[in-house]
């Protein structure tokens, strides 16, 4: 089965290397808003960097999402034999990152934190990896982080317009997101570092336990900060790290505070999120 593609010019946002990549036309045509997020993995444009390109209906890049961390994949890619032999429970985050791409994966984690449905488009695959991805994500998102995660057929997309309005629609086999509720580029540095740690754990069970625990922690911190914001005029980024460390004994780097601000802006209240500012920004005004 061959898929019709079109070349798109991309430029690495980190090192400016330029190349052309082939993008399947159907993912662009199917996008609900006319812009598709396409994973450009390390090795496709330059050797070191992976990023997401926002591609419009005219097959032109409108912008990039780039977390500026070099993602080092853990483990080797499975051979065709291994893929055929692996069951639902043999599929790990290492496999998922390899298939979907690190930045698309990080964006899915952001979707989970923001509480949006994750819909995975079913396309032909010998190894049922879309089913396996759904199962992996479902097993990870239990308890506090329960979001709708399901596989959908292309034909049912129309009927699901209402449902899919706030959803992330992923086309896992083509490393793409055809619909995202996040209007602009988001900073998924935090999620990327979580994934990085996850894929270096040896098996599915330990990966799930680790990621579930970490997502629950950051979720709890975000809920806490939402309450704090209601009582203050502004909250400095520089103080949030210390506050979280003291209250939860949980370390989050100042440059990762974006995840807190962006999730609050998306899930709770934009105005409240704007109260999070930096002392440096204050000094400039
Ligand atoms: Zn580069």
What is the distance in A from the centroid of ligand 1 to the CA of 46? Answer: 5
Number of domains in the chain: 1
Q: Is residue 55 part of a domain?
A: no
DSSP symbol at 203? S
Band the pLDDT of 139: cuts 50, 70, 90.
Answer: very high
What is the distance in A from the centroid of ligand 1 to the CA of 106? Answer: 19
pLDDT digits (tens, 9 = 90+) for 1-37: 578 999 999 999 999 999 999 999 999 987 877 899 9
pLDDT digits (tens, 9 = 90+) for 236-284: 998 999 999 999 998 888 888 999 999 999 999 999 999 999 888 777 7
Averaged pLDDT for residues 200-218: 95
Helix or strand (DSSP H, E) at 238: helix 237-248
Q: Is residue 22 part of a domain?
A: no
What is the pTM for the complete model shown? 0.93
Q: Is residue 252 part of a domain?
A: yes
In angstroms, rounded to a whole number, what is the distance separating the alpha carbons of residues 12 and 17?
5
145 or 194, greater pLDDT: 194
Q: Is residue 277 part of a domain?
A: yes
Supply the range of the domain harboring residue 254: 189-284
What is the distance in A from the centroid of ligand 1 to the CA of 53? Answer: 13
What is the distance in A from the centroid of ligand 1 to the CA of 17? Answer: 6
Backbone angles phi, psi at 68, to 5 degrees: 60, 30
What is the distance in A from the centroid of ligand 1 to the CA of 45? Answer: 7
Name the β-bridge partners of 63: 54
Q: What residues sit around ligand 1, an ion, with C-beta below 5 angstroms?
A: 12, 14-15, 46, 49
Q: Is residue 93 part of a domain?
A: no
> Are 10 and 40 in contact, with CB atoms under 8 Å apart?
yes
What is the distance in A from the centroid of ligand 1 to the CA of 52? Answer: 12
What is the distance in A from the centroid of ligand 1 to the CA of 167? Answer: 30
Backbone angles phi, psi at 77, to 5 degrees: -70, 140
Q: Is residue 213 part of a domain?
A: yes
What is the distance in A from the centroid of ligand 1 to the CA of 1? Answer: 32
In angstroms, rounded to a whole number, what is the distance separating the alpha carbons of residues 192 and 260?
14
What is the distance in A from the centroid of ligand 1 to the CA of 59? Answer: 21
**Buried/exposed 43-70: b ≥16 CB within 10 Å, e otherwise:** ebbbeebbbbbbbbeeeebeebbbbebe
Q: Is residue 231 part of a domain?
A: yes
What is the distance in A from the centroid of ligand 1 to the CA of 109? Answer: 24
> Are 230 and 275 in contact, with CB atoms under 8 Å apart?
no
pLDDT digits (tens, 9 = 90+) for 157-173: 766 666 667 899 999 99
In angstroms, rounded to a whole number, what is the distance separating the alpha carbons of residues 122 and 160?
14
* pLDDT at 96 (0 to 100): 96
What is the distance in A from the centroid of ligand 1 to the CA of 56? Answer: 22
Q: Is residue 102 part of a domain?
A: no
Instruction: Return the structure tokens found at 153.
Output: 């057929």
Q: How many CA atoms are closer than 13 Å to the CA of 12, on its beta-carbon side?
A: 18
Helix or strand (DSSP H, E) at 135: helix 129-140
């Amino acid at each position: 089965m061959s898929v019709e593609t079109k070349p798109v010019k991309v430029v690495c946002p980190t090192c400016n290397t330029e190349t052309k990549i082939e993008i399947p036309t159907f993912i662009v045509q199917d996008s609900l808003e006319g812009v598709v997020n396409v994973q450009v993995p390390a090795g496709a444009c330059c050797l070191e960097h992976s990023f997401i390109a926002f591609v419009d209906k005219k097959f032109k890049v409108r912008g990039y999402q780039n977390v500026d961390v070099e993602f080092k994949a853990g483990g080797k890619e499975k051979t065709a034999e291994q893929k055929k032999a692996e069951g639902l429970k043999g599929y790990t985050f290492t496999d998922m990152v390899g298939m979907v791409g690190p930045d698309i994966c990080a964006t899915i984690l952001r979707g989970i934190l923001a509480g949006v449905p994750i819909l995975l488009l079913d396309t032909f695959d010998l190894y049922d990896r879309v089913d396996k991805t759904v199962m992996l994500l479902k097993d990870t998102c239990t308890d506090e982080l329960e979001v709708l995660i399901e596989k959908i057929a292309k034909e049912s997309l129309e009927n699901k317009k209402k449902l899919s309005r706030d959803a992330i629609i992923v086309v896992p086999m083509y490393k793409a997101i055809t619909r995202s509720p996040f209007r602009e580029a988001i900073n998924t540095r935090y999620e990327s570092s979580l994934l990085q740690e996850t894929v270096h754990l040896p098996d599915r069970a330990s990966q799930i336990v680790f990621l579930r625990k970490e997502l629950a922690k950051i979720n709890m911190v975000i809920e806490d900060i939402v309450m704090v914001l209601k009582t203050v005029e502004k909250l400095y980024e520089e103080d949030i790290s210390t506050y979280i460390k003291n209250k939860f004994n949980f370390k989050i780097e100042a440059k990762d505070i974006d995840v807190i601000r962006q999730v609050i802006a998306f899930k709770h209240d934009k105005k409240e999120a704007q109260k999070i500012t930096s002392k440096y920004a204050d000094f400039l005004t």
